[in-house]
Amino acid sequence: MMARMKAIALMAAITVGEAVISGAAQEKQEAGQSATVPASPVAPAANPKDVQSLDAIVAAVYDVISGPPGERDWNRFNSLFTKDARLIAVRTPKDGGKPSLVVMTPADYAAHAGGYFKEHGFFELELSRKTDSFGAMTHIYTTYESRETKDGKPIDRGINSMEFFFDGERWWCVQIYWDAERPGNPIPEKYLGK
């Protein structure tokens, strides 16, 4: 949990920027102008094996952020996401106060978590999954466990709520929204079984 919380803490400053963007969008909407979210850069070309199936893209999401201390393959990471994708972390104060959200683009996540990953090992693996699909959209609750070394003791568990889009040729990650297990917030049994 500490590794994930440290990475999230590094990203807390982004929330202020997102609030400013949101406020500007609301002002435009009130003024009768269109409100838009700033566009993310165009994604690099994906490895076809990473995006050929739902299982493949979920595995790629976990794999690309996992590894010993060092640089991650941020081009591969970005290739998994749609333009304007979001990563959203639930952040809870250590004193147990009111939770808040840290909203990021994939580039924001890479910029802030990347510094942490350079200095610390981080391995995240999927424990179980619940999937619902309709048309071109799929929602997955994927329960994760994090470690500092590949075979080390678990340091964190939680649930990633992932949204995916299939464009007829490949899968795209639209959003990842997560919360960690903590006192008073255990993972329900239905999200721990395969």
SS3 79: helix
Q: Which domain holds residue 24?
A: 2-29+44-191
Least confident of 51-55, 77-81, 155-159, 183-187: 183-187
- Give a yes or no: residue 38 inside a domain: no
Residue tagged 């350079």 (tokens) = 118
Query: pTM to 2 decimals?
Result: 0.78
Total domains present in the chain: 1
Identify the band that residue 97 occupies on the pLDDT scale cut at 50, 70 and 90: confident
Q: Is residue 144 a contact partner of residue 161, using CB atoms and an 8 Å limit?
A: no
Residues in the chain: 194
41 — pLDDT class (breaks 50, 70, 90): low
| 178 lies in some domain | yes
Q: Is residue 39 part of a domain?
A: no
**CA neighbours closer than 13 Å in the CB half-sphere of residue 13:** 7
Would residue 140 count as lying in a domain? yes
Determine the Cα–Cα distance for residues 19 and 15; give it in Å rounded to an integer: 6
Tell me the per-residue pLDDT of 60-88, one tens digit each, with 9 for 90 and over.
999 999 999 999 999 999 999 999 999 99
For residue 52, what is the domain's CATH number? Answer: 3.10.450.50
Q: How would you label 168-182 residue by residue, b for 16+ Cβ within 10 Å and e otherwise?
A: eebbbbbbbbbbbbe
Q: Tell how far CA 186 is from the center of its chain.
A: 20
State the DSSP code for 189. G
